[in-house]
Amino acid sequence: MKLTLYAAIIVLVGVATAATLNQNNADCPSDRRFLHDLKSLLRIHLGEKIIPPETDSPYWTSSGKHLRKTTWGKTTCPKGNDVVYKGYAGGSHYQAKGGPGTTLCLPVAPIYEKYTSEASDSYIYGTEYETGREASPLHRLYQDDVPCVVCQSHHETSAIMVPARNECFPGWHLECKGYLFGGASAHTGSSDYVCVDSEAEAMPGGKANTNGHLLYMIHAKCGALPCPPYVDGWELTCALCTK
């Protein structure tokens, strides 16, 4: 136990030192990645309670029928929600001919049980923003890795993701709004649609362009989809609404 506490102190001192060294260059990706990795290691070895979940309220809601939801592209929850956990967006490889088609929010501190180093028939990859068009919304995040956060509402019990709107219908509360993302039509990998926050963030130091699970902005295509009211080639918005 003493050794564990000593390790915790060493890591915390490292975090504090890195933060001090970086105070004149707060946007240095390598330093931000270092801080992030230290916190992740601390969570893995000492448990999540050492670095408690961050909330916008003085209490932690962990029971009852309150709504839990995932916000893509963010590390914080909207007001009126508690953070259940933060993590990394992940999914199947963009060139995979099979595999799951769901985007998951993977926690920063995984827990393993039985494991092997043998090759597998199924893998999950981290997600990257593919907003390569210079005039595209969120182009600043091109090739960055996608964060996510699972939130629990204090009050709401129902949620819908409304595509092609950045406003909720009457009687619903807007939690966040953004742009509709999914896999590329030309890729063989399966994917789903996710609503990425319009004020999206990126994982620290994540512009490596490793091309695993990729998210592209969804554009409307006229045909069976009527134009108007849709506009061919325009990026579609989205909204997460609760009640």
Q: Where are the domains of the chain?
A: 1-52, 55-110+118-242
Q: Enumerate the H helices of the chain as residue ranges.
A: 2-21, 29-46
pLDDT of amino acid 23: 44
Which tens digits make up the pLDDT trace of 151-209?
988 887 788 899 999 999 999 989 889 999 998 988 988 888 999 999 999 988 767 78
Mean pLDDT computed over 87-94: 90
Confidence of residue 41 (pLDDT cuts 50, 70, 90): low
CA distance linking residue 103 with residue 53, whole number of Å:
22
pLDDT of amino acid 12: 53
Q: Which helix (H) or strand (E) holds 175?
A: strand 173-182
Which tens digits make up the pLDDT trace of 130-142?
999 888 889 999 9
Secondary structure letter of residue 173 according to DSSP: E
CA distance linking residue 107 with residue 150, whole number of Å:
9
Burial of 235 (C-beta count, 10 Å sphere; 0-12/13-18/19+) = middle
Mean pLDDT computed over 25-49: 52
Residue entry with tokens 């003085």: 58
Burial of 56 (C-beta count, 10 Å sphere; 0-12/13-18/19+) = middle
Confidence of residue 112 (pLDDT cuts 50, 70, 90): confident
Mean pLDDT computed over 100-117: 86
The pLDDT mean for the chain works out to 77
Q: Which residue has the higher pLDDT, 214 or 80?
A: 214
Secondary structure letter of residue 146 according to DSSP: P
- pTM for the full predicted model: 0.70
The number of beta carbons lying within 10 Å of the beta carbon of residue 151 is 26
Q: Which amino acid is at 218?
A: I
Confidence of residue 39 (pLDDT cuts 50, 70, 90): low
Reduced to 3 states (helix: H, G, I; strand: E, B; else coil), residue 130 is coil
User: Does CATH number 1.10.150 belong to domain 55-110+118-242?
Assistant: no
3-state secondary structure 36-78: HHHHHHHHHHHCHHHCCCCECCCCCCCCCCCCEEEEECCCCCC
